[in-house]
Chain A
Amino acid sequence: MSENLDEDISSLFQRLLPFVVSALLITIFYMPLGLFSLNGIRPMVGVACVYFWLQHRPDIFNLWSVFCLGLWDDILSASPLGSCIFGMLLMYMLVNLTSRFFNAKPFIVLWYGFMLLLLVTMFGKWLLISVYYSRFLPLSMLCFGYMITIAIYPLLSLLLAFIQNKLMKD
């Protein structure tokens, strides 16, 4: 009985870990520490986490996790409510469409894949918010945000891979 309970708790922990870690990282990147922003722009950590977990643990990081993570990001952000959810769902859709191609590929291929999918995701979100405000948002800030997110992805995936290897079972 006790063993079953332990197993249940352990299984729940495993299932929740990617979501909790991602939500925590999103939160940390919103902190006013002056460490995570460059020229006032912060990386889109949420989308990067979604990409990583969908590539590595699609079995436990499902559609609902993506939606809840988007909602969490939306609450913290001042961008229109629902836009972060849209961005993450778009990334989810793109990863699912390209999963055959990126499956079991080395990191460098996954990084290139992230560059490509993030470009589509950010452009989609940019277009949606531009329609929402009925005016185009500055592309310069979008490009800058894109580059920062791309640059931080290897570090982020290193951290997430460490968590995956140390705390999660196959």
Chain B
Amino acid sequence: MKHRRSLIIHFSRIRLLAKKFVLVILFLAAFVLMLLNKTDNAIIDKTSGVATDVVASVVDVLVLPARLIANGYDFIKNIGNIYADNHQLRLENQRLNMIYNRYKSLEVENKLLASLLNYVTPPKVDFVTAKVVAEEGSAFAHSMVAYVGDTKVEKGQVVLSDKGLVGRVDKVGSNYTKIILITDINSKIPVVVENTRVRGILSGDNTNTPKMIFIPLDADVKVGDRIVTSGVASVFPSGLPIGKVIRVTKNEIMVKPFSDLEQLEYVKIVNYNVVSDTLIQNTETKGKENE
């Protein structure tokens, strides 16, 4: 009896030790995953893309009835014509905002280009409209998952809403893609103040208002100034509207994005290189044919 009791105690001690050991192993596994993620490992990227596909498809199925309930609630709230009118006005407002943003950037661009004679027209762009199926906002990350279907999307492509820049593609699955928002801590965008052409970097910090950094000390930036992409480093094309300045302090400039990043249902993923790539390919093919 005594022997049996000591065996049980011994066994439970071993079990407790094994449990602690497994906990340490799992903590280590979490650290290893973080380290692999930090190294931009291609296998991790690919696996993560596949995993996003699986998880996002679950969200996509779940979001349908949830959206139906949410829409039903909205419908009750906005009865009859008021709802239809509101919907119409929203669409109209979106269209006008797009025209306004385009007009503002074109106006400045036009002034600059007027002084140049040998202006080269930028290539046309290809885009895909993607449905937002999941979004994340926390102290640790700001992102969203969007459904793109069979369309080929690549890492780093620009994501826009009707009001302006939203973010860039981070991870790509076969049907879904993960988008890093401009408010995320990983987001660094070369920008310019539209009127004064003061350059800087718009840096996300996981708050709703990204900061403009690396600006000259004597820079002339005022509250209300529009911030657009500068096109430096060729990551983003120039002139895409981002937001407006809401606070200027000695050390930083706070920018409020034009797009309401919490209310996005659809986004546009734009491939700004597609035409130039096709042109290069065509030229190469023609060159081979001539040979």
Q: Is the CB of A82 within 8 A of B141?
A: no
Q: Give the residue name and chain of the A residue nearest to B55 (CB).
A: A75
- List B24-55 residues whose CB lies under 8 Å from chain A: 26-27, 29-34, 36-38, 44, 48, 51-52, 54-55
What is the total number of residues of chain B having a CB less than 8 Å from a CB of chain A? 58
Complex partner residue of A141 from B36, B139, B261, B262, CB under 8 angstroms? B139
Are the C-beta atoms of B23 and A137 separated by less than 8 Å?
no
Chain B, 205-248, CB within 8 A of any chain A CB:
205-208
Q: In the complex the two chains form, is A79's CB within 8 Å of B70's CB?
A: no
A106 within 8 A of B: no
Partner of B261, one of A28, A40, A77, A140: A40
The segment from A6-14, A29-37, A108-116, A161-169 found at the interface with B is A29-37
Stretch from B78-86, B107-115, B177-185 forming part of the interface with A: B177-185
B193: Cβ under 8 A from any A Cβ: no
CB-defined interface of A30-63 with B at 8 Å, one 1/0 digit per residue? 1111110101111010000000000000000001
Is the C-beta of B67 less than 8 angstroms from some C-beta in chain A?
A: yes
Residue A92 at the chain B interface, CB threshold 8 Å: yes
Give the complex CA separation of A35 and B185 in angstroms: 24
> Given A40-B262, A81-B37, A138-B205, are A76 and B136 neighbors across the interface (CB < 8 Å)?
yes
Q: A27-B58, A31-B66, A89-B30 are in contact. Are A129 and B137 (CB under 8 A)?
A: no
The answer on a CB contact under 8 Å between A78 and B143 is yes
Q: Mark A61-76, 1 if CB is under 8 A from B, else 0.
A: 0010001001010111
Whether the Cβ atoms of A78 and B141 lie closer than 8 Å is: yes
Question: Which residues of B have CB within 8 Å of A145?
Answer: 138-139
Quick one: given A75-B48, A76-B134, A141-B139, are A82 and B261 in contact (CB under 8 Å)?
Answer: no
CB distance from A87 to the nearest CB of B (A): 9
Q: Is there an interface contact between A67 and B26, defined as CB atoms closer than 8 Å? A: yes
- Contact indicator A72/B55 (Cβ below 8 Å): yes
A34-B262, A77-B143, A89-B30 as given contacts; A42 in contact with B137, CB under 8 Å: yes
Residue numbers in A under 8 Å from B145 (CB-CB): 30, 76
Distance in Å: Cβ of A33 to nearest Cβ of chain B: 5
Which chain B residues border A81 with CB–CB below 8 Å? 33-34, 36-37, 44, 48
Contact A78 B178, CB 8 Å, known A72-B55, A89-B30: yes
Which 7 A/B pairs are nearest by Cβ-Cβ distance?
A78-B143, A82-B33, A141-B139, A82-B34, A79-B141, A79-B140, A78-B141
